[in-house]
Structure 1
Amino acid sequence: MDAFLSRLEEKIESRLEELISEKNNIPEDAEEHVIFVKEISMEDAKKLVEEFISDKKGEIITALEIAEKLNIPYELAHEIFLQLIKEGKLEELDEF
């Protein structure tokens, strides 16, 4: 399990570096969006995420998508995704 989590963390860090690089290439005149997040407990957020993903069978979804759609902090959405993967409720993709 530790090896699995280590690989997952490496993939996340790699993807984060890619996203930062992409962000740095966004033109300065690009449209900005403000996202408001609500304060919510881990337990309540997990229930919201599980409800949201129940309609998404076979679809690729990301923690960022969940954070934006449910207005919850990204860090919380990410932690919930890791939990759901460990619980077998989500599948990890090699690449997307």
Structure 2
Amino acid sequence: MAYRLVRARPKVDRLVELRERLDTGEIEAMDPFGRAMTRALEDARFDPASGEAVWIEEDYCSPPLAMERTEVLDDYFEDITIVEEDVDDQR
């Protein structure tokens, strides 16, 4: 299992929709990554210095975050960067 440190610039005008999709469980129900993505986005933090969201994503894809980007992340974030490929998730 790989945990990746991710940074991305939120599309501010889309965040209300993302919040609604998280709250209704729509994203959590996506197989196979929904539960992990919901947890990661719920735990995401805002970096005021850069204006980016930062989170740790559990990921099994090659290339990294492929399914997550196609189904969710690219709709709500720009400039998605995997800062570190294999972090130790201590949540």
TM-score range, shorter chain: 0.3 to 0.5
Greater share of strand: 2
Q: TM-score, normalised by structure 1?
A: 0.32
Q: TM-score, normalised by structure 2?
A: 0.34
Greater share of helix: 1
Larger radius of gyration: 1
